[in-house]
Structure 1
């Protein structure tokens, strides 16, 4: 795992890795990355018949270790049946609370991936939120970890990488979430078929 006490030189290397991945994106990859959270926001609204914030919370709560298509299927199913299923008990408990009307910000871990995923979907124009999943980690550190532990449960490690994405975004004149989603598209397409498990949010 990377050190949570990264030097300024190491942080700069992470920022440059992110920017290099951004610059490697094709116009089509940039377009898909730019629209990813807007599309997810619209989906969240459709699932809940207009309550995008609740839909974003449910999608985020169900996102761990699930492909995006499976994530969406489980969220649709939860609202259609009124009973969340298909995930770990903790995730399903969070979904049930959000579906019952609790504010997702009071249910989800807001300083880590799940909470940030909620924020990006609920408001794609959020100027600060950035999702650090396993792919975002690997883009920043410049190495594909595969199934090795990245330690992203650590709030300090998450904050370190989030800072690097925000700095890269500042230099590029983009939103942090846009930089993350574009580089996510580039990275996951690079590793597709390489023996590394496919894209998961």
Structure 2
């Protein structure tokens, strides 16, 4: 009897604790409202200030051209983050939808993986550029040229785009190996193309 009463009391205590700690609908609405406001502000700042920075960098003459290259790469990466990360998140948060098209989701994921490392890498290049200009001030014009700056930005872009491309092709290959229908469709397509080529070769030879 005592055991039954103790278990009943514990279950009531747990239910009371769960009821007191479970977020209510008003709490969720407040959280979503604050989240939407922050996302809207962030998106507006990213999509307005970064193009403004590009315009300013184009007209300012007091900044060295090599430093402008690194600043432009960082600004473009931030703009990409605004277009492919902040803007879709804001639209989804305002519309309160969680399901988007598969193709659109893959495009956003691919672009997001590319642009997410861009600002950090650009800051790294800019830090190295400033370090060389301070430590090797007299040799800076010969060490850091416009051509070398552009090559370094392109190489850095290649280093963090290549893993994304490799990962995408690996995912396609894994999906092909696991999906029997995909293998069958690909096989039939290759066979049909091969047969059409065999029919066309004698005509071309004649």
TM over 0.5: no
| TM value normalised by structure 2 | 0.23
Select the structure of larger CA radius of gyration. Answer: 2
**Larger RCO (CA under 8 A, 6+ residues apart):** 1
Greater per-residue helix proportion: 2
| TM value normalised by structure 1 | 0.23
